[in-house]
Amino acid sequence: MSPPILELREVTKRFGPTIVADRFSLTVARGEFFTFLGPSGSGKSSLLRMVAGLERPDSGTIIIDGRDVTNVPAWERNLGMMFQSYAIFPHMTAAQNVGYGVKVRGLSGPQVEARTKEMLALVGLSGLAGRNATLLSGGEQQRVALARALAPEPRMLLLDEPLSALDEKIRRAMQAELKRIHVMTGTTFLYVTHDQEEALTMSDRIAVISGGRSVEIGEPERLFRRPRTRFVASFFRGSNILDARPGADGRLVIGGVEVSGINLPIPAGGVVHLAVRAENVHLTQPYPKDAFAIPGEITDAAFRGTVVDYALVLQDGQTLTATSTRHLAPGKRVEIRIDPGDLILLEDQEPRRRSVK
């Protein structure tokens, strides 16, 4: 395996009493689409800015392409950057914006022109090369910014929530476009977002961040379907977390009912936390084989187009959500069935942001 293109080693950063990066470490493989995902204020943009050289860590090491760049200025790191605001030049045409980055690198006029044409074609804007940037739509300006960032052939492209200002239809189209361009160019993408769908749609791997710490790192499907921690389970929409405790004869008490057939390494005594996806909570037949049943009541229903999300309350007062294509009335008492194989035993540990005096 080739060495990673990016290594963060014990990176720590404080803004006043708040630690936005807390001994943060990870590696990113060459050519990877790697995403920092987390809620607002989690520290993900601060980490990206330190990689870019726009902020300096208080301690720790940043290595890019085998070189320690912790104290190297941004302009010497050969990185591309896309911001939420696009930051394109309003007095220039689309082609002039794209060509600016390679022009300042000292390339000749014909080389700049050839590279500009290549990049505009890559993002599908060949026909708009001569149009002034102020006359472009938001999606077109975003493509110009992407082409400009890629034109100088950076070691990595850093993207700080670049799609957040676009409407949903254009945002979905640009997610597919970014993934296509990533595959075509082979450039390493380091992406920041708070949008779960963006991260799941585009990423090769995701680091879920909270309180300046990496809570879990993994492939999108594993994080979504089999989270290891309560934070990640609760972060992705559609996850339920149930409190359970050991019962008699190896059984487990869930929702006030003793159930059997659950093969999980559950310690004796105390409360454990289990996650289950809403789509794996079954209210109607056919039930999965060996599913156990617990009683509950539908308290609310939210129509979401192709499915309905049902809010349920269990005998012990716990709540959970079930996603179904069937239509059931609120107030109806139901038998909730869950396949034991769909239950995930979660770690108890929760990330906390540290403060310093």
Taking residues 284-297, report their average pLDDT: 87
Q: What is the pLDDT of residues 152-173, one digit of tens each?
A: 999 999 999 988 878 888 889 8
- Residue 163's pLDDT is 87
Cβ burial 128-154 (10 Å sphere, 16+ → b, else e): bbeeebeebeebbbbbbbbbbbbbbeb
Q: Could you tell me the CA-to-CA distances from 316 to 231, 246, 256, 312 in Å, in that order?
A: 23, 15, 5, 12
Burial class (CB in 10 A: 0-12, 13-18, 19+), 110: exposed
Q: How many CB atoms lie within 10 A of CB 246?
A: 16
Q: What is the pTM of this model?
A: 0.90
Give the integer Cα–Cα distance in Å for 78 and 59: 22
Q: What angle do CA 83, 85, 87 make, to 5 degrees?
A: 80
- Residue 287's pLDDT is 82
Q: What is the pLDDT of residues 256-283, one digit of tens each?
A: 999 888 878 777 778 889 999 999 999 9
- The percent of residues above 90 in pLDDT, for the chain, comes to 68
Give the integer Cα–Cα distance in Å for 312 and 333: 9
Domains of the chain: 6-224 (3.40.50.300), 238-345 (2.40.50.140)
